[in-house]
Structure 1
Amino acid sequence: MPRQARVIVPGLPHHIVQRGHNKQPVFIENRDFQYYLDNLQEWKHTLGLEVFSYCLMTNHVHLVVKATDELTAIPQLMKRLAGRQTRFVNKIEKRTGSLWEGRYKISPIDTDHYLLSCCRYVELNPVKAGMVDAAEHYPWSSYAARIGLADCDGLDEPPTMAALGTDSQSRRERYQAFVSDGAFSEQDRQIRAAIARNKLTSGHRFVDEVERRIGLRIETRAPGRPRK
């Protein structure tokens, strides 16, 4: 089966997943996690990107990053993060070789309908993996900072957060309720399927809109089957 091409759409948030080589651990000690987050903060500022959500699991990372008009910015970010982490770990462990899988996965997100669900999906990873019983107890995700329990200078507020309340406290409380109600849903299935295949996290109408914007066919249609 041919490998699905990666698509980056200017101005859209993107769900990104990068896994350790052969699913082996990438982060073992606290310093490993912190080093990655320090580099994420540095390079997102350098490249002018916004980070809406993140979660560092032991053998993979999830990021939700908004693309700029400079389409090389996200690839540069991922190259810098992967390269620095590899050199850091290899130096400490006196080893050589790749730390990561060769290609990260990326899925442009329909901001209005899926962005907050993607952030929730990312931040609930440790809960669904049985690592913690509540998202705020996991120190290596953006959730605690999002609801005001931790500081994070490198975290940006998703535009759809504004619809949750007129002030920061009410937005935090409503987002917390939204995440707490985050049992497995149909949107979770769509998010997982989209990132696995480098497709848009969206409905058909939004796919058509993005294809018109970028002038490329990015989703495969069944022959002769009309779009709804």
Structure 2
Amino acid sequence: MARLPRLTVPGYPHHVIQRGNNRQPIVLSDADRETLLGLVADNALKHRVALHAYVLMDNHFHLLLTPETEDGVPQMMQAVGRRYVRYFNDLHHRSGTLWEGRYKSTLIQSESYLLACMTYMDLNPVRAGMVAQASDFVWSSHRHYSGLAQDRRLTPHTLYWGLGNTPFAREAAYAEMVRDGLSVQQQTRITGAALRGWALGDAGFVAELQKRTQRRVTESRPGRPVSQRKSAESL
């Protein structure tokens, strides 16, 4: 069956995942991590894409992005992918591919899933057994939103601003939300949508989104749960 083009629509949040080939490491040092995040931030700005959240694991990374244009995310990810592979191969004396094919991307409904997706990303290192709690991991946006660090690379979504009337209130509310975690159903839906590229939202959201693109946005009738192909721990 022919592979569907990625679903990308301006003005909507996109959950993006890029994994290393054969799950091999994509970073070997903090310098690699800083370089990769710098490329992400620079190309997000260049291609008019808001970077809301990120988590950088050893063999893959997640981004939460809102593009201003239809080509913003594809152009950004292409530039990041090419420049980082060149940097990584030259520095570590290797050749060949680094990525596991194309990046994966899903479009999400802000009101229902944006903060849940941020929580999902923050908890990735916890699920992987790398840290005991999200605040212990420095290579994600969690510490920025919970008030433990400042990260100028980020553009907070309006839903984050709605968590409280003061910075302290927003940071406390966000940290508590992450500590509370996700339900099994939320985690399953976010994982399945990310892996398969279908829009994540309720029936009304899916119907409205379908009016804006010729690309099919869901594999089934709106509202039907998305099956999970791989466990969340693998992401």
Q: Note whether the superposition's TM-score is higher than 0.5.
A: yes
CA-to-partner distance for each residue in 1:33-65, whole Å, 9 max, x for gaps? 110111112111112211111001000010000
- Whichever residue aligns with residue 52 of structure 2, its letter is F
Matched residue, 2:77: 78
- Whichever residue aligns with residue 162 of structure 1, its letter is W
CA-to-partner distance for each residue in 1:72-103, whole Å, 9 max, x for gaps? 11111111111111111101121110111121
Q: Aligned in 2, Cα 1:58/1:184: closer, same or farther, shift over 3 Å?
A: farther
CA-to-partner distance for each residue in 1:94-135, whole Å, 9 max, x for gaps? 111011112110001101111000011011100111100111
**Structure 2 unaligned residues grouped into runs of 5+:** 225-235
Matched residue, 1:119: 118
**Structure 1 unaligned residues grouped into runs of 5+:** none
Matched residue, 1:46: 46
- Equivalent pairs, count: 224
Farther-moved stretch of structure 1 (2-11 vs 18-27): 2-11
CA drift of 1:215 comes to: 4.5
CA contact (8 A) 1:15 1:65 kept: yes
- Whichever residue aligns with residue 113 of structure 2, its letter is Y
CA drift of 1:169 comes to: 1.3
Query: Structure 1 CA distance, aligned partners of 2:158 and 2:94?
Result: 42
Query: Structure 2 CA distance, aligned partners of 1:172 and 1:158?
Result: 14
CA contact (8 A) 1:50 1:65 kept: yes
CA drift of 1:3 comes to: 3.2
Farther-moved stretch of structure 1 (153-162 vs 126-135): 153-162
CA contact (8 A) 2:7 2:215 kept: no
- 2:201 is aligned with 1:202: yes
Q: Aligned in 2, Cα 1:212/1:183: closer, same or farther, shift over 3 Å?
A: closer
CA contact (8 A) 1:5 1:198 kept: no
Query: Structure 2 CA distance, aligned partners of 1:187 and 1:2?
Result: 29
- Whichever residue aligns with residue 57 of structure 1, its letter is M
Q: CA RMSD in A?
A: 1.9
Query: Structure 2 CA distance, aligned partners of 1:164 and 1:91?
Result: 44
Query: Structure 2 CA distance, aligned partners of 1:84 and 1:137?
Result: 29
- Whichever residue aligns with residue 6 of structure 2, its letter is R
- 2:181 is aligned with 1:182: yes
CA contact (8 A) 1:164 1:175 kept: yes
Matched residue, 2:164: 165
CA-to-partner distance for each residue in 1:176-196, whole Å, 9 max, x for gaps? 100000044311110000011
Q: Structure 2 matches for 1:143-154, cutoff 5 A? A: 143-154=142-153
With the length of structure 2 as denominator, give the TM-score of the two structures: 0.90
CA drift of 1:23 comes to: 1.1
Query: Structure 2 CA distance, aligned partners of 1:202 and 1:81?
Result: 28
Q: Secondary structure at the match of 2:162?
A: helix
With the length of structure 1 as denominator, give the TM-score of the two structures: 0.92
Identity %: 35
Q: Structure 2 matches for 1:1-228, cutoff 5 A? A: 2-68=2-68, 70-221=69-220
Post-superposition, which runs of at least 4 consecutive aligned residues in structure 1 deviate over 6 A?
A: none
